[in-house]
A = this chain, B = another copy of it.
Amino acid sequence: MLARLTGEAAPGEGVLVGPGDDAAVWQPPAGMAVVVSQDALVEGEDFHRDWTGPHQLGRRCLEVALSDLAAMGAVPAWCTATICAPSATVLDDVLALTLGLREAGAEAGCSLVGGDLSGIRGPLVVDVCVGGWVEPGSVLRRDAGRAGDRLAVTGSLGGAAAGLRVLRDGAPAGASAEQVRGWLDAQLRPRARLAEGRRLAALGVRCAGDLSDGLLVDAGRTAAASRCRAEIVAEALPLAPGLREAFPEDWRELALGGGEDFELLVAAAPAVLARAIAAWPAGLAPLTEVGRLRDGAGVALVEGGAPRTPPPVQSRHFT
C-alpha cells in the first residue's frame, strides 16, 4: 500500500516481487545470510514535527534502521515501512515522508518493497523494517568481544545530543554557526555507517554494535553480551567539533550518555584493531580507540588515569 502511494520505482537488486502484492519476494545472493531489523520512531518520543520536516524525517527513519544493519556488517537490500498517520495529516506530508524513505533507501541500495499505511487517533508513527545480507562467517556480533580487546568508535561523539540541546534550548554562547550546524545535522540527518561496517568485517573485526543509545549504554551492552567489563578513557573520546568548548560542564554527558550518534562501537584484539586503523580508508568516518574490554562486568570511565563516576544517561527510550 505504502510503496504504491508513490508510484513505481525500479525494483532493487534481487527483488522478484515488489510493492503491490501481498508480500515482497527477494532472492539473496547465493550462500548469504539474511539480516533484519525493525525500528520505530514515534512523534513526541523520538521526534517533534516542529524540528523536522516530513522528507527529512523519512530519511532519518530509514538511516536509524539501517544503522543496525551497519552494526552487523551487512549490505542493505530492501525495506518495508508502516506509517500511522493522524487523519489531519496532509497527503503531501505522507508523500514527502515516503520520498525521504525511498531516497535514503536508494542511496543505500535498498528499495521500498512494501509496508502499511494506517490512520491513528494519536501521534505520527513511522516503523521501518530493513533487510540485507552478510557473509555468514563475517557477521559483526555484540557477543564476540573478549577480555583484552580494545574498544574503538567510528566518527565523533556527542554531536546528536548537542543538536538536541540546541533544538530544545537554543545554541550555546560562543559556538560557531558551523559547529551548531554540525550538531543539528548529527541529530536530524544521521547517516548509517554502512561502508564502515563492511570494512570492519573485511578487516577481520567480529564484534560491533551501533551507538543508538550512547556510548555508556551501548558499551554496557557489548560488555554484557561478551561477558566482560568495558573501560572507557575520557581523554580518548573523539568529540564532535566544538563540543568541549561550548559545553564545558556537560560534554561528557553529551558524548557518553546522549545517544543517537549512530556511530559504530568495535571490540577487537589489539593487533586486529591496530591493523584496521592503519589500513582505514580516508573517505570513511575515522576509527578511534577509546578503551578496552577487561575481565569483570559493567562499564567504567577513566579520566586522568583515575576512575570517574559516569555522567547520567539521557536516552529517550525505555530500554
Interface residues of A (CB under 8 A from B): 1, 16-17, 20-28, 30-31, 33-40, 42, 44-46, 67-69, 71-72, 74, 78, 80-82, 84, 113-123, 125, 127, 129, 131, 134, 136, 139, 141-143, 209-210, 225, 317-319
Contacts and interface: CB of A to CB of B under 8 A. Distances in A.
A118 B37 contact: no
A17 B123 CA distance: 33
Contact of A1 (B20, B117, B225, B319): B319
A202 B24 CA distance: 20
Q: So how many copies of this chain end up in the complex?
A: 2
A61 to B, nearest CB: 12
A207 to B, nearest CB: 10
Contacts of A16: 33, 136, 139
Contacts of A116: 38-40, 127
A280 to B, nearest CB: 21
Contacts of A23: 35-37, 68-69, 71-72, 74
- Most chain-B CB neighbours within 10 Å: which of A39, A209, A210? A39
12 contacts: A16-B33, A22-B68, A23-B72, A34-B131, A36-B36, A42-B120, A44-B120, A46-B118, A82-B82, A116-B127, A117-B318, A120-B123
A21 B120 contact: no
Contacts of A69: 23
Nearest to A23: B37
Contacts of A127: 38, 40, 82, 116, 125, 127
Most chain-B CB neighbours within 10 Å: which of A33, A71, A318?
A33
A74 B23 CA distance: 10
A222 B190 CA distance: 40
Contact of A36 (B72, B117, B129): B129
Contact of A121 (B44, B113, B136): B44
**6 nearest A-B pairs in the assembled complex, by CB-CB distance:** A122-B122, A23-B37, A22-B71, A129-B129, A38-B80, A22-B68
Query: Of A21, A33, A69, A136, which is in contact with the most chain B CB atoms at under 10 Å from its CB?
Result: A21
B45 A118 contact: yes
Contacts of A84: 40, 42, 125
A81 B67 CA distance: 18
B136 A27 contact: yes
A210 B122 CA distance: 29
Contacts of A123: 120-122
B42 A34 contact: no
A45 B225 contact: no
A114 B33 contact: no
A16 B120 CA distance: 36
B121 A25 contact: no
Contacts of A37: 22-24, 80, 114
Given A25-B136, A82-B127, 17 more contacts: A17-B141, A20-B142, A21-B209, A23-B68, A23-B72, A24-B35, A25-B139, A26-B33, A26-B35, A36-B78, A38-B80, A39-B82, A44-B120, A82-B82, A121-B123, A122-B122, A122-B123
